[in-house]
Amino acid sequence: MSTAASTPKPINHDLPTLLRLCAITLIVSGHFGLFEYGGGGAALLMVIVGYNIATFKLSKVLKTDSIMPVAMMIIKVMIPTIAYVLFIQLYYGSFRLVDVLLVANFVEARHPMGFSYWFIEVYIQIQLILLLLLALPQVRALLNKNRKLTSYAFVAIAVLTFIVCDAIWDTHHLYRRLPWLMMWLIAFGFAARFTETLTEKSALTTAFIISAYIFYGEVNLFLSISVALLIFNPPLRLPRLTSKGLNFLAAGSLFIYLTHFQTRAVLEKLIFDSPLLYTLLAILIGATIFNIYNKIINKKILEAIILDDKATSQSTQANEKNSIR
């Protein structure tokens, strides 16, 4: 096994977490009219998703030779998303199957009632594609052999895919919110985890800025600087209490995204009009809901079911071996 495959660079948790919280905060503040930051928050979240997969899931996939770590990540997002979408639809009396199936981004750019969960739809669709890719023994073999070079190839293929597809299929009416057109963001985040030298970091940053310019038709300073920070990964160690609070809020980014409009609707009936206060409370409430859900559902129920299934499978395999003997 190559050195690149066995010893990835040390993990700096605080910076990606800070960028993640910054992205979701800017998204919410933009939606609430607090201020206009120029966009790029959702794209940054996609990049961070790729980085986190490479950081937290890839080693588990390769070590266990199983796609279950990625599958569990998808399940943990799909269950609350579908449940919440169903709840909102029942409350407003507007059932749409494409929303429940999380494929509305293929149909229209804007929901007729203003609901929009395109980010989570694309997020899940991309994860499903990655799941299929990681299920291939050949792909896992390449990653085991050299994660760095494989991640660079992933970037090249993903960028080429969006350039070719965008040239032959006009999806601007869907705002190009399709998995094969946004996979490149995940790919750059994935590759960012494995860059080591200054040359590699500079090359990947330059490639991202060029790719983003091709995709968006302009240079987004917020997105470019944020991704450069993620790639260069400068030392950042926050005080323990600050880091803990940061993790609490950032971990709930998907729940914040899901609930922030409905949170504002409730707050508008309870308190005075304040986009700043709405933004802060939407982030706090969304993060709190996630942490409660994560503690009760994800850790106590879903993971218990998986562990039970795993134990049953191991017991069955042991019995089969004993019977053969």
pLDDT digits (tens, 9 = 90+) for 46-96: 999 999 999 999 999 999 999 999 998 999 899 999 999 999 888 888 888
> How far is Cα 18 from Cα 22, in angstroms, rounded to an integer?
6
Phi, psi (deg, nearest 5) at residue 251? -60, -25
H/E run at residue 276: helix 275-293
Domain count, the chain: 1
Are 246 and 14 in contact, with CB atoms under 8 Å apart? yes
> Do the domain assignments include residue 1?
no
What distance lies between CA 144 and its chain's CA centroid? 23
86 assigned to some structural domain: yes
Cβ atoms of 193 and 54 within 8 Å: the answer is: yes
The span from the CA of 220 to the CA of 23, in Å, is 13
Query: Is 88 within a domain?
Result: yes
What gap in Å lies between CA 211 and CA 223, rounded to an integer?
12
Q: Which residues of the chain have pLDDT under 70?
A: 1-12, 112-114, 300-325
- The residue segments making up the domain with residue 108 are 7-324
Q: Determine, yes or no, domain membership for 292.
A: yes
**pLDDT tens, position by position, 281-309:** 999 999 999 999 988 887 766 656 555 54
How many CB atoms are located within 10 Å of the residue 145 CB?
Answer: 13
Report yes or no on 219 lying in a domain: yes
Q: Please indicate, yes or no, if residue 2 is contained in any of the structural domains.
A: no
Measure the N-to-C terminal CA separation of the chain; round to a whole number of Å: 35
Report the largest interatomic distance among the alpha carbons of the chain, rounded to a whole angstrom: 75
